[in-house]
Structure 1
Amino acid sequence: MSKKRLSVVVTRRLPDAVETRLSELFDVKLRLDDVPMTRTELSAAMKEADVLVPTITDEIDAAMIGQAGERLKLIANYGAGVDHIDVATARQRGILVSNTPGVLTEDTADMTMALLLSVTRRMSEGMALMQKGEWSGWAPTALLGGRVSGRRLGILGMGRIGQAVAKRASAFGMQVHYHNRRRLHAEIENALEATYWESLDQMVARMDVISINCPHTPSTFHLMNARRLKLMKPDAVIVNTSRGEVVDENALTRMLRAGELAGAGLDVYEHGTDVNPRLRELENVVLLPHMGSATLEGRLEMGEKVLINIKTFDDGHRPPDQVVPSML
Structure 2
Amino acid sequence: MKVLCVLYPDPVEGYPITYARDSIPKIERYPDGFPTPTPKAIDFKPGELLGSVSGELGLRRFLEERGHTLVVTSDKDGPDSVFERELPDADVVISQPFWPAYLTKERIAKAKKLKLAITAGIGSDHYDLKAAMEAGITVAEITWCNSISVAEHAVMMILTLVRNYIPSYKWVVNGGWNIADCVSRSYDLEGMDVGVVGAGRIGRSVLKRLKPFDVKLHYTDQHRLPKEVEEELGVQFHPDVESLVRVCDVISIHCPLHAGTENLFNEKLISKMKRGSYIVNTARARICDRDAIVKALETGQLAGYAGDVWFPQPPPMNHPWRWMPNHAMTPHISGSTLSAQGRYAAGVREILECWLEGRPIRNEYLVVHEGKLAGVGAHSYKV
* Same structural fold, with TM-score higher than 0.5 when normalized by the shorter chain: yes
* Structure 2 counterpart of 1:82: 124
Alignment match of 1:238 (pick from 279, 296, 302): 279
Q: 1:192 to 1:148 in 2, by over 3 A?
A: same
RMSD (Å) for aligned C-alpha atoms: 2.2
Task: Indicate conservation of the 8 Å contact 1:178/1:194, yes or no.
Answer: yes
Pair 1:127 & 2:169 matched: yes
1-structure distance, mates of 2:132, 2:181: 60
2-structure distance, mates of 1:87, 1:22: 28
CA offsets, 1:87-144, max 9 Å, x none?
Answer: 22222222211111211111100100111011000011112212222x1355598445
Q: What code does the residue aligned with 1:118 have?
A: T
Q: 1:203 to 1:15 in 2, by over 3 A?
A: same
Larger displacement relative to structure 2 (214-223 or 317-326)? 317-326
Matches within 5 A, 1:249-288: 249-272=290-313, 273-274=315-316, 277-288=319-330
* Structure 1 counterpart of 2:39: none
Q: 1:79 to 1:25 in 2, by over 3 A?
A: farther
Larger displacement relative to structure 2 (295-304 or 90-99)? 90-99
* Structure 1 counterpart of 2:32: none
CA offsets, 1:141-172, max 9 Å, x none?
Answer: 84451111111111001000000000111122
Which secondary structure does the structure 1 equivalent of 2:302 belong to?
coil
Q: 1:294 to 1:301 in 2, by over 3 A?
A: same
Alignment match of 2:2 (pick from 7, 28, 34): 7
TM (norm. structure 2) is: 0.78
1-structure distance, mates of 2:182, 2:335: 36
* Structure 2 counterpart of 1:157: 198
1-structure distance, mates of 2:246, 2:160: 22
CA offsets, 1:225-279, max 9 Å, x none?
Answer: 1110111111211111110000012011101101111111111124431376544
* Structure 1 counterpart of 2:246: 205
Task: Indicate conservation of the 8 Å contact 1:205/1:233, yes or no.
Answer: yes
Matches within 5 A, 1:88-127: 88-127=130-169
Q: What code does the residue aligned with 2:189 have?
A: V
2-structure distance, mates of 1:159, 1:122: 28
Which secondary structure does the structure 1 equivalent of 2:188 belong to?
coil
Q: What code does the residue aligned with 1:323 have?
A: V
Task: Indicate conservation of the 8 Å contact 1:82/1:99, yes or no.
Answer: yes
Unaligned runs of 5+ in 2: 8-52
Unaligned runs of 5+ in 1: 1-5
- Between the aligned residues of both structures, percent identity stands at 25
Larger displacement relative to structure 2 (311-320 or 14-23)? 14-23
Task: Indicate conservation of the 8 Å contact 1:223/1:246, yes or no.
Answer: yes
Paired residues, number:
320
Q: 1:108 to 1:140 in 2, by over 3 A?
A: closer
Q: 1:276 to 1:242 in 2, by over 3 A?
A: farther
* Structure 1 counterpart of 2:367: 323
Pair 1:145 & 2:204 matched: no
Which secondary structure does the structure 2 equivalent of 1:211 belong to?
strand
Task: Indicate conservation of the 8 Å contact 2:76/2:84, yes or no.
Answer: no
Alignment match of 1:311 (pick from 353, 357, 360): 353
1-structure distance, mates of 2:106, 2:60: 32
Shift in Å, 1:291: 1.5
Runs of 4+ in 1 over 6 A off after TM superposition: none
* Structure 2 counterpart of 1:18: 58
